[in-house]
Structure 1
């Protein structure tokens, strides 16, 4: 299968490396010339439980270099989704499918506006990755589940074909007849810890040692679960405590969430597609979501202070 990863950061490279080693023509498309050139020159250095190796990958900064593909896997930051997809339309041929594996809710609607809803599939992955430098990642693929599915819940041959391609590359993938519920399950896990660590700058070990923060996390998850129930979504997570526990499963006490990492790098976060999506669903359903609204406001305040500081530094 010819596949393009739109957004070859840590997660995109982890999945792209696995698909490449699985024999698929996989292209890593990224806007960073330094990162792409490093991969072209030296290959992608992948550190994982098996050790360290260099994978010869295909990498590009422009979609036109790649041409039409069978599958586009979208892994750009949430707030770049529309612009990135519009800039990568050279990847889209007559039968191209577009699969979002991004965190949060709402990406499928954004992608549908660009390429048409009939092309779009949804998914969630628990594969992990850390970008160590240009052309260098730490990858967590083994044993990590990925779920994909049609937005209407049908089990289709095209979804099964993607799952087969993923599984043949060691990506444990299941086609779900309730992908919307699966996406909400993952959202609950992100709601539990992302914003709180971004606000407090705490590692998981520190976060899980603070009862007051746990209480806040459970309240945020409770709001999200209530919104999902009101929206008719079927969840597999039955209680807020379960999301809190799952969020830390298999992770070291030194773990820093992607939201915290973004803020530490001076970058904007994906808060609008995580806690912010809970707030939007609450507004749509007429349900109060004060805890999530407060967490969003706090992250937005940190982003504003960060942006103002960067502007001041640029002037000096």
Structure 2
């Protein structure tokens, strides 16, 4: 199976490293020439529970260098989904499947508009990673589950084949007949910590020491659960505390959410696809979401301040 990972950031590299070590032809696609060149020249440095090692990976900046893949795993930032997929159509052949493992909701619809809904699969992963520098990641794969499935909930051989490959490579993966519920489950975890740590700049350890922030997180999760129930989504969780606990399970107290990592790099966040999706679903279904709306507004404010500062520096 030839696999292309569209978006070789921390998470894409963590998954790509495991698949490469599992002897599957795996390509890491990144827009960063420095990142790709480092991986090509020195390999990908992976720091994890086993120590530090370098893995000889296949890396590229252009889809044309890769050619048609059997599976394209989409892991670009949510707001880059449309442009990234349209720029990577060289990966798509008659039988190619496109699997989104991105945070939040809505990517499957964007991808379906580009490549056709019949070839789009959805999934969620609890695998973690931090990009330490070009060609260097900290990986959190061990014991972290990934769920994939057909959008219509059917159990098909094509999804099972991908799960078999993932499992053989050490990525604990299950096929779900309720992938929309699974995606909402992961959304609850992202809602629990992402925006709050982005606003406060706190690590997981710091966040979980602050009772007032826990109360805010539980309120945001509760709004999301109410919206999900109103939409007829079947969740595996029945209490906001479950998402709050799951969000930090197995992670170092020093670990930072992807939203905080984005803000620290001066990048825009995926807030529109996480807390923002809760707000949109709430508006559609008549479910109040004031906590999530406030978190979205605060993160948007931080993004605006960063953009203004960057413009000042560019013109100085």
The bucket for the TM-score relative to the shorter chain is: over 0.9
Q: Is 2:217 the partner of 1:220?
A: no
CA–CA distance in structure 1, aligned partners of residues 179 and 225 of structure 2: 16
1:119-152 deviations in Å (ceiling 9; x for gaps)? 1000011111111111111111111111000001
CA–CA distance in structure 1, aligned partners of residues 266 and 204 of structure 2: 20
CA–CA distance in structure 2, aligned partners of residues 49 and 159 of structure 1: 29
1:261-304 deviations in Å (ceiling 9; x for gaps)? 11111110000000000001011112111110110001000100
CA–CA distance in structure 2, aligned partners of residues 134 and 230 of structure 1: 44
Q: Is 2:274 the partner of 1:278?
A: no
Q: Is 2:110 the partner of 1:128?
A: no
Q: Which residue of 2 aligns with 1:107?
A: 107
Secondary structure at 1:124 match in 2: strand
CA–CA distance in structure 2, aligned partners of residues 206 and 50 of structure 1: 26
Unaligned 5+ runs, structure 2 = none
CA–CA distance in structure 2, aligned partners of residues 92 and 177 of structure 1: 25
Quote the offset at 1:206 in angstroms.
2.0
1:232-278 deviations in Å (ceiling 9; x for gaps)? 10111110111111111112222221111111111100000000000
Q: Is 2:142 the partner of 1:142?
A: yes
The aligned length equals 316
Q: Which residue of 2 aligns with 1:310?
A: 310
Q: Which residue of 2 aligns with 1:256?
A: 256
Secondary structure at 1:121 match in 2: strand
Quote the offset at 1:50 in angstroms.
1.2
1:83-137 deviations in Å (ceiling 9; x for gaps)? 0000000000000000000111111001101111001000011111111111111
The 5-angstrom pairing of residues 122-271 of structure 1 reads 122-271=122-271
Q: Which residue of 2 aligns with 1:11?
A: 11
Quote the offset at 1:211 in angstroms.
1.7
Q: Which residue of 1 aligns with 2:34?
A: 34
Q: Which residue of 1 aligns with 2:83?
A: 83
CA–CA distance in structure 2, aligned partners of residues 108 and 99 of structure 1: 9
CA–CA distance in structure 1, aligned partners of residues 255 and 55 of structure 2: 26
Runs ≥4 in structure 1, deviation > 4 angstroms?
A: none
Q: Which residue of 2 aligns with 1:23?
A: 23
CA–CA distance in structure 1, aligned partners of residues 315 and 112 of structure 2: 40
Secondary structure at 2:250 match in 1: coil
1:36-92 deviations in Å (ceiling 9; x for gaps)? 011111111111111111111111110001111100000000000000000000000
Secondary structure at 1:171 match in 2: coil
CA–CA distance in structure 1, aligned partners of residues 200 and 214 of structure 2: 13
Secondary structure at 1:93 match in 2: coil
C-alpha RMSD over aligned residues: 0.8
CA–CA distance in structure 2, aligned partners of residues 217 and 208 of structure 1: 10
Quote the offset at 1:205 in angstroms.
2.1
Q: Which residue of 2 aligns with 1:118?
A: 118
Secondary structure at 1:81 match in 2: helix
Unaligned 5+ runs, structure 1 = none
CA–CA distance in structure 2, aligned partners of residues 211 and 53 of structure 1: 39
